[in-house]
Amino acid sequence: MTARLAHIRRHPIKSIGAEGLDNVMLRPARRLPGDREYAVLTETGERNARASETDGAPDRWLPKSCFVRGVSSAQVQAIDGGWQQGRIALRHPTRAELIFDPETEAARLIDWLRPLWPADAAPPSRLVKGAAIWTDSKWPWISILSLDSLAELERWVGRRLGIHRWRGNLWIKGWTGFAERDLVGRIIRIGEVELRVTDHIGRCDATSADTESGERDIDMVDSLQRLFGHTEFGVFAEVVTGGRIASEDEVTA
């Protein structure tokens, strides 16, 4: 079976919603365009943010602990949505749809998030768009995951997990299950684009939440450790040769 690019996923706001793309232009040593372009600071994260601000916005990359994330609220994992005619549209099973302009109506997002946030966690503070894209790693990497590895994992844990809880950028179909783990240091090609696989992706408890209900349905970190002796799923890669990729492009390694 020829390996193909099955899904391209982008997350305009870190940990809050996601959207599928038919194609995207990748550039050398750059992240996926528009991915994690925005993030919501928590009140605890404000200290780091203010220490790095220029003209009211952080001017350097900040660690993930500064932001709203699914690891602190499983309900956040059930938020879906992305860009819609120049605004961001978000949906959640317990909230009315929110459609807002992130540049001028960010306060509406904070109000919308508050009921989804646990009382014992530092609350959402403000939406920021900084000099860096707010991925968990400060390096310009793209995440690559395998549908075949996911299918095997689902068989082993005895439940459907789906692609959304993993928040990956590129999903490949047609690889042998977990073959991506052996690709670190190697070049893969998607169409005419070349990417160097750089590292495995360590997973946190956010992946324990069902993305339809926003409720924990598995201890994912424990399951990965028990099954494999580690807590990794998927790999990171850096774009070496840029170009446009599209769904169903052939993937070679």
For residues 198 and 141, give the distance between their C-alpha atoms in angstroms, rounded to a whole number: 8
For residues 180 and 100, give the distance between their C-alpha atoms in angstroms, rounded to a whole number: 38
For residues 98 and 15, give the distance between their C-alpha atoms in angstroms, rounded to a whole number: 16
Between 236 and 61, the higher pLDDT residue: 236
For residues 188 and 195, give the distance between their C-alpha atoms in angstroms, rounded to a whole number: 5
Alpha-carbon dihedral of residues 20, 26, 30, 31, nearest 10 degrees? 10
Which domains, from first to last, does the chain contain? Answer: 4-31+138-252 (2.40.33.20), 39-128 (no CATH)
DSSP string computed for 38-73:
BEEEETTTHHHHHHTEETTEE-S---GGGB--TTT-
Q: For residues 152-178, give the mean pLDDT.
A: 97
What is the structure's pLDDT at 196?
A: 98
Identify the H or E element spanning 244: strand 243-246
Identify the H or E element spanning 228: helix 220-228
Q: For residues 100-124, give the mean pLDDT.
A: 96
pTM to 2 decimals? Answer: 0.95
CA–chain centroid gap for 8, Å, is 11
Q: If pLDDT is split at 50, 70 and 90, which confidence band does 1 have? A: low
Q: What is the torsional sign of CA 40, 205, 160, 152? A: positive
pLDDT for 143-161, tens place per residue?
A: 999 999 999 999 999 999 9
